[in-house]
Amino acid sequence: MSKSQIYAGRIHIYSAPAALTQHIEWALNQHLNQVVKIAWVKQPLAPGSLALELEYKSEHPVADKIAIALKGWHYIRFEIRQVNLLTTDAILYRITPDLGLHQASLASNGDVVVNENQLNQIINNSYSHKMLKSNLENALGMQWEIELEPYRLALASGMAESVSKSG
């Protein structure tokens, strides 16, 4: 591992219209600061859509910039996980057309972490048990998980051979 490449990540685009693939590639290349060869595969759940999985390494955190660049295209479903290799701090961005953006910190095992400030805000803004449950589920990204899981499963067979790598 190069000393300068202290961030590593994985980008999963679970579905994107074929017409947007060049725009997506341009955005990824721009934010990763290199030309990345991407292997797109068909997304069985969304005819006419493609998917990709890309691993990257970078000297600067780029997940937030990539998420912001890609969220402007409404029809994309994706998630980006990024870890700081020196501290093991990790972050997750998930986007779906219906739910928008979800951002969460991750534990080393991949679990979503809700910090003290988030918990205090959730408790203070929850006036009923039902609202508390809903706010906690939102902080954990449960709806994003529910929406993305069928797309993950549809790609599970055959995607392993198509992981693109950068860095």
Q: What is the pTM of this model?
A: 0.88
Q: Please say whether the beta carbons of 164 and 39 come within 8 A.
A: yes
- Sorted by where each begins, the domain ranges of the chain are 7-113+143-165
Look up residue 131 and give its two tokens. Answer: 């609202």
Q: Return the closest-CA partner of residue 76 out of 141, 117, 112, 27.
A: 27
Cα angle for residues 104, 109, 6 (degrees, 5° grid): 75
Strand-strand pairing, 90-96 and 100-106? antiparallel
157: pLDDT confidence band, cut at 50, 70 and 90? low
pLDDT digits (tens, 9 = 90+) for 23-77: 999 999 999 999 998 999 999 999 999 999 999 999 999 999 999 999 988 899 9
Measure the CA–CA gap between 67 and 5, rounded to whole angstroms. 20
3-state SS track over 98-160:
CCEEEEEEECCCCCEECCHHHHHHHHHCCCCHHHHHHHHHHHHCHHHHHHHHHHHHHHHCCCH
